[in-house]
Amino acid sequence: MTVERVMGAETEYGILAPEQTGANPTVLSAQVVNTYDTLFHRALRARSSSQWEYSSESPLADSRGGEMSEEQAHPSQLTHRAPVLTSEEIAAEALKESGLYAERLDWDSVTMNSILPNGARFYVDHAHPEYSSPEVTNPLDAVLWDAAGDHIAAQTVATIEVNATESGLPKVNLYKNNTDSKGQSYGAHENYLLKRSTNFDDVVAGLLPFFATRGIMIGAGRVGIGTKGEKPGFQITQRADFFERLVGLETTIRRPLVNTRDEPHADINRYRRLHVITGDANLSHYSNLLKFGTMSLVLNLIEAGQAPQIKLADPVAAMHTVSHNLTLAAQLPLAGGGTITALEIQGEFLDAARELEGDCDAATQQILDLWEQTLHLLETDLFALADRLDWVAKYQLLSQYVSQGLGWDNPKLAAIDLQYSDIRPHKGLYFKLVQVGRMKTLFDEATIEEAAHNPPENTRAYLRGKVISTWPEEIVSVNWDTIVARDPLGTDLYRLNMPSPSLFTKSSVEHLLKGEHAGDLISWLNGQNI
């Protein structure tokens, strides 16, 4: 067994125009996305007319069977429709005259998607700019290409700031956090492919106790208790207070611990995509590695029928309790009587994973050892993890101010909390901790920047990213599993379906990228019946 499986991340960034606090966030998000879109196309010295291919999106399919009707769905679930800015939302003349936006945009129906040369998608989702990383095959790569999104976000903010005077558009800040502390939450989602043959009831049973307690390792920390932070204090996670039920299809309302969206972007007979919405947005590489690595191991356990049989009396209440309990000693009621702690639950999953994995590769061993070491230090020496875990780093930093007499309801602490998540390297407190050696990293800046411009080499993301950078003017539309190109000399369209994430890798297609046209490549690949 191995920790390797197809996975990826989605990060919605908090957005704010400090000088125009009442600015429409959807307009600001469009400003961010289109600024970066223009940036990378200038680097390519070519325009692109490519759009997101919505025809293969199926956000209302449910893993429990059936499909929710559009009439029943909340508007935020209709992600198979291209988002647009209404005339009321858009300051039309200011945006048109700014020069920051791609000429291809139809200002009566502004598209807000950018497909990047690293195989990722950068777009407007629920009034936030969202970076969806390219699919990768292991947790370490998931961390790297997620960090690449932070680099892209920071580069975009810097560009907007430089051009603010000339463009007349407001400067913006982006934050890798999960709540505005006014009752709104936005996601940091994970995606994993797992075997379609796995009974979904077993998936739910295995994940509920794990999700209720994994925040002790992957929480980002938050000042304030409650969805609006109405109660003074500090808690381990940013997202816990916003979850209300066990299982469901929604992601922005009535949030469930286990999301049932069944949209694999792969062979639907072989795979389902587990859409995980319970995690925090992590800046720490180690928090992120634990997030992706332990999740992959737990899915191994579930697929093998070896997940610990732990049934909490109320997993949602347990998640809230765990997040609010900084001693990690809270006793969580079990359905059959008795209690258990978050550390004990995570320990049972770790023990089961060690037993299942047996002899394992180096990547899997790294996750197992990190999991074990983290649980040990959480129990015995919490602040020894301040150089690895986001919530512990933030808690240690804030505790210094509390020890000097500030109460947890002091606005200064909330401001420090927000500044930790600022994605600007010269402003964000996380980056300051890295710079002074108080936060460990797994990748240096040069490696992260490389991943911001280049796709993973061992998934179909390689082909997606490379066709965008090689033939930007010929690509009509792109999805995770689809590429559509036009004949530049005629009207023909060429469509490539990519149901297997493990095909169209660098080793198999790099030599084909020297052709004259994208259509020629697609025609050849279709002829190979790959």
Q: What DSSP string runs through 308-346? A: ----BS-HHHHHHHHHH-TTS-PPEEBTTS-EE-HHHHH
Q: Is the pLDDT of residue 469 over 80?
A: yes
**Of 368, 374, 376, 404, which Cα lies nearest the Cα of 387?**
374
**Of 92, 167, 93, 85, which Cα lies nearest the Cα of 123?**
85
Once rounded to an integer, what is the mean pLDDT over residues 184-191? 94
The SS3 assignment for 416 reads helix
The SS3 assignment for 146 reads helix
CB 91 within 8 A of CB 115: no
Active-site position among 37, 125, 262, 417: 125
Q: Tokens representing 516?
A: 């004259």
Distance between CA 377 and CA 47 in Å, rounded? 52
In terms of pLDDT, which residue wins out, 358 or 302? Answer: 302
Give the confidence band of 182 by pLDDT, cuts at 50, 70, 90. Answer: confident
- pLDDT value, residue 113: 85
The SS3 assignment for 359 reads coil
Once rounded to an integer, what is the mean pLDDT over residues 482-492? 90
**Model confidence pLDDT, tens digit, residues 24-66:** 898 899 889 988 888 776 666 555 667 777 666 666 666 776 6
Q: Is the pLDDT of residue 130 over 80?
A: yes
Give the confidence band of 167 by pLDDT, cuts at 50, 70, 90. Answer: confident
For 13-17, 94-98, 315-319, 354-358, which range has the lowest pLDDT when averaged over its residues? Answer: 94-98
Provide the whole-model pTM.
Answer: 0.92
Distance between CA 317 and CA 145 in Å, rounded? 33
Give the confidence band of 92 by pLDDT, cuts at 50, 70, 90. Answer: very low
- pLDDT value, residue 443: 98
Q: Assess whether 492 carries a catalytic annotation.
A: no
Once rounded to an integer, what is the mean pLDDT over residues 256-273? 92
In terms of pLDDT, which residue wins out, 253 or 129? Answer: 129
CB 463 within 8 A of CB 509: yes
